[in-house]
């Protein structure tokens, strides 16, 4: 998929802000955040398979008891993971999920 830009912190935060920290119902805590973080962990950990000490840790999808807890935990984990991504990783993220960020050409 051809993209017009690469996901950066500004576009990431704009996307994450669609999911409220104070969500009261599960319709405001849908699967996009867990799906995105799962992809990020799988990709990053595979790229660093020789160094398990830097692996991204999973967030327990079913350990989150409320919609607000789920959104808050995943948004934090995604932001922390994004900080570890280099430009090549960000390009791969854009190729996989650019359409979510409105970056697909």
**Tens digits of per-residue pLDDT, 36-88?**
999 999 999 999 989 989 999 999 878 899 999 999 999 999 999 999 999 99
Q: Is the pLDDT of residue 105 over 50?
A: no
Whole-structure pTM value = 0.89
Which residues neighbour 5 within 8 Å (Cβ) at sequence distance 6 or greater?
11, 94, 103
pLDDT score of 62: 81
Q: Is the pLDDT of residue 104 over 80?
A: no
Is 35 exposed, middle or buried (CB count within 10 Å of its CB: 0-12, 13-18, 19+)? middle
């Amino acid at each position: 998929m051809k993209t017009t830009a690469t996901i950066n912190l500004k576009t990431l935060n704009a996307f994450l802000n669609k999911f409220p920290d104070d969500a009261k119902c599960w319709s405001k805590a849908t699967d996009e955040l867990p799906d995105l973080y799962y992809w990020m962990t799988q990709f990053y950990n595979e790229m660093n398979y020789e160094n398990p000490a830097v692996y991204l840790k999973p967030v327990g999808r079913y350990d989150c008891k409320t919609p607000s807890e789920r959104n808050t935990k995943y948004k934090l984990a995604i932001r922390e993971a994004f900080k570890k991504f280099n430009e090549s990783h960000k390009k791969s993220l854009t190729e996989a999920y650019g359409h979510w960020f409105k970056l697909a050409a």
